[in-house]
């Protein structure tokens, strides 16, 4: 037996739509069995500038290693941070 879906209202603003979905169950309005997976390969995660104090010798070593790898040292630092976070998460 197929259940009939409710008709979506017209929203005046994104804020109105957000409030609507906070109060309503989407399964009454959307047939999720017909949903398709979507990928956004070009999206970059939002990043934030931070100030981080590191010893001079460490920054020099990081810059040297980044130069060997032909990548910006800040990118290498982000890789190192991510590796550390995920390594600790698995422990």
Contacts of 70 (CB under 8 A, 6+ apart): none
62 part of a folded domain: yes
73 part of a folded domain: yes
70 part of a folded domain: yes
64 part of a folded domain: yes
89 part of a folded domain: yes
67 part of a folded domain: yes
Q: Tokens for 84, please give them.
A: 């550390």
5 part of a folded domain: no
* Grouped pLDDT means (10 residues each) for the chain, 91 residues: 83 95 93 89 86 96 98 96 84 59
For residue 81, is it left (φ>0), alpha (ψ between -120 and 50) or beta? alpha
What Rg, from alpha-carbon coordinates, does the chain have?
23
Q: Domain residues for 73?
A: 52-91
Give the count of domains, the chain.
Answer: 1
């Amino acid at each position: 037996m197929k259940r009939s879906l409710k008709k979506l209202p017209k929203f005046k603003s994104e804020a109105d739509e957000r409030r609507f979905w906070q109060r309503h169950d989407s399964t009454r309005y959307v047939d999720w069995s017909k949903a398709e997976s979507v990928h956004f390969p070009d999206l970059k995660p939002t990043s934030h500038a931070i100030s981080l104090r590191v010893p001079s010798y460490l920054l020099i070593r990081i810059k040297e290693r980044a130069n060997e790898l032909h990548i910006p040292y800040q990118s290498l630092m982000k890789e190192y941070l991510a590796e550390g976070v995920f390594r600790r998460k698995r422990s």
